[in-house]
């Protein structure tokens, strides 16, 4: 008599969260372990998560070069998608303008101080 597989997707769907949290140090308990031992779909899912974790560990050990303007581009794109009209100035540009303003302030202060001393 063929087995009824109609209940199996429900069991697999119920295990989604548990399978995502399984790693080499975690062992599934009781009925979940029994199901995964018999279900090729769930075994493939566990293998998929293990490969993803292995890849993420590899990526974590290699520092990535990040473009300084990336955060500005992301925020600008999000604002644009949300329909907001926000004029963002990149951090590097803001720092440069701030430095120029401070330098201009020092020059004006020095010129006034010199004029008053004369």
∠ Cα 66 101 99 (to 5°)? 35
Which one has a higher pLDDT value, 1 or 71? 71
Encode pLDDT of 18-41 as tens digits.
887 776 556 777 788 888 888 898
| Token pair in block for residue 3 | 């087995």
pTM: 0.45
pLDDT at 2 over 70: no
Measured between alpha carbons, how far is 67 from 117 in angstroms, rounded to an integer? 48
Average pLDDT of span 31-60: 86
Measured between alpha carbons, how far is 118 from 115 in angstroms, rounded to an integer? 5
Secondary structure, 3-state, 22-80: CCCCCCCCHHHHHHHHHCHHHHHHHHHHHHHHHHHHHHHCCCCCCCCCHHHHHHHHHHH
Provide the sign of the torsion angle of the four alpha carbons 20, 21, 22, 25, taken in this order.
positive
Domains of the chain, by residue range, sit at 8-60, 70-117
Q: pLDDT at position 17, please?
A: 80
Q: pLDDT at position 81, please?
A: 83
Q: pLDDT at position 25, please?
A: 55
Q: pLDDT at position 3, please?
A: 46
Q: pLDDT at position 65, please?
A: 79
């Amino acid at each position: 008599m063929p087995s009824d597989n109609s209940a199996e997707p429900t069991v697999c769907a119920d295990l989604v969260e548990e399978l995502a949290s399984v790693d080499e140090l975690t062992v599934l308990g009781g009925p979940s372990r029994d199901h995964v031992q018999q279900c090729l779909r769930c075994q493939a899912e566990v293998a998929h998560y293990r490969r993803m974790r292995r890849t993420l560990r590899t990526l974590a050990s290699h520092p990535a070069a990040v473009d300084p303007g990336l955060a500005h581009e992301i925020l600008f794109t999000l604002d644009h998608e949300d329909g907001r009209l926000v004029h963002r100035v990149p951090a590097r540009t803001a720092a440069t303008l701030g430095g120029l303003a401070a330098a201009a302030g020092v020059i004006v202060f020095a010129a006034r101080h010199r004029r008053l001393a004369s």
